[in-house]
């Protein structure tokens, strides 16, 4: 452990970590986990600055200013959910600063993508503060970075409904939103352009995976890798409501991709056009069309 302590001493003397906290993540879990993260940094004599705010815009301004004033920052610690990680990505990627995501949100899918456990805080922080970060691929959709999944169709409708629900909390929120939206949902017509082909299709959803999961562990693109330079694109063509209900549980294991109405493609770039909206990392991107690219080695983070 001597090397660990030496590295910590160097970190103390030369640089300051940013701890970005969303206290309202996970119905208040962000504040609780944030307190534990700050306690860890204090116990280990690591220099840090806490950044928090009452709006995403305010928090982004604080982080941009901090990174401008601290160009040797060893990393930004995001305490919250996928939405906070998405916000932090926009700030750290252009300046080449590493980031870590501490799970305190509803879905925590980017943490799952990096293979960190959701309940071993000290284990994760021990690694982050003593090991060098590694490069990972990120998605870039119309100038906006994302880490996990870009999607449109039924899941975007569900995302909008889930974001409006005050109860239940956690991943169960998505299941309730699905139950509310499925009876009303109709497939859309999509025009899709990949690296080497262009086609039209009716689809219930289109998911573009840099990472494998969204919605709190749904393995929508189970074979997606953040280090292969490609997106995995999963398209669900129209099925009956009853068939959807039968197949849906398989998304948690990724076995849905074997259904005859599911098509999977690999591509570096994609353009999606439809009368629909897109979400990435659970955040609203906006109305289609959108264009996205998998950018190799765009981000710096710590993987388990």
Q: Assess whether pLDDT exceeds 80 at residue 54.
A: no
- In percent, the amount of the chain with pLDDT more than 90 equals 73
8 and 125 share one domain: yes
254 and 205 share one domain: yes
CATH of the domain at 52: 3.40.50.10330
Whole-number pLDDT of residue 53: 81
Whole-number pLDDT of residue 184: 85
Whole-number pLDDT of residue 7: 46
160-218 tens-digit pLDDT = 787 777 777 666 777 788 888 888 889 999 999 999 999 999 999 999 999 999 888 89
Please give the residue that has the higher pLDDT: either 143 or 11. 143
Whole-number pLDDT of residue 14: 65
CATH of the domain at 217: 2.60.200.40
Cα 264–chain centre separation: 20
Number of H helices, E strands in the chain: 9, 16
85 and 182 share one domain: no
Domain that holds residue 191: 146-301
Whole-number pLDDT of residue 8: 46
Choice among 43-47, 169-173, 287-291 with the minimum mean pLDDT: 169-173
258 and 217 share one domain: yes
CB under 8 Å, gap of 24 or more: what pairs does 253-258 form?
253/219, 253/222, 254/212, 254/219, 254/222, 254/223, 256/220, 257/222, 257/223
DSSP structure string for 146-196: ESSEEEEEHHHHHHHHHHH--SS-TTHHHHHHHHHHGGG---EEEEEE-SS
Choice among 7-16, 263-272, 276-285 with the minimum mean pLDDT: 7-16
150 and 46 share one domain: no
Choice among 37-51, 58-72, 175-189 with the minimum mean pLDDT: 175-189
């Amino acid at each position: 452990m001597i090397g660990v302590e030496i590295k910590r001493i160097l970190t103390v003397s030369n640089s300051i970590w940013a701890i970005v906290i969303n206290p309202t993540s996970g119905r208040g879990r962000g504040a609780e986990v944030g307190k534990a993260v700050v306690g860890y940094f204090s116990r280990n004599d690591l220099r840090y600055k806490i950044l928090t705010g009452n709006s995403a815009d305010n928090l982004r301004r604080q982080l941009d200013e901090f990174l401008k004033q601290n160009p040797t920052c060893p990393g930004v610690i995001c305490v919250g959910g996928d939405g906070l990680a998405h916000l932090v990505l926009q700030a750290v990627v252009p300046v080449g600063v590493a980031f870590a995501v501490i799970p305190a949100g509803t879905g925590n899918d980017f943490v799952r993508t990096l293979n960190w456990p959701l309940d071993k805080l000290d284990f994760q922080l021990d690694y982050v503060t003593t090991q060098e970060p590694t490069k990972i691929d990120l998605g870039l959709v119309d100038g906006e970075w994302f880490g996990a999944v870009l999607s449109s169709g039924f899941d975007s409708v569900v995302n909008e409904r889930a974001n409006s629900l005050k109860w239940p909390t956690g991943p169960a929120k998505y299941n309730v939103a699905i139950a509310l939206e499925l009876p009303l949902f109709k497939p859309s017509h999509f025009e899709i352009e990949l690296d080497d082909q262009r086609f039209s299709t009716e689809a219930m959803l289109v998911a573009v995976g840099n990472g494998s999961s969204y919605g709190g562990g749904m393995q929508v693109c189970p074979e997606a890798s953040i280090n292969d330079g490609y997106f995995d694109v999963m398209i669900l063509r129209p099925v009956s409501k009853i068939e959807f209900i039968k197949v849906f549980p398989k998304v948690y294991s990724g076995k849905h991709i074997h259904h005859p109405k599911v098509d999977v493609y690999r591509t570096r770039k994609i353009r999606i056009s439809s009368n629909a909206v897109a979400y990435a990392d659970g955040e609203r991107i906006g109305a289609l069309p959108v264009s996205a690219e998998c950018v190799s080695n765009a981000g710096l983070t710590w993987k388990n």
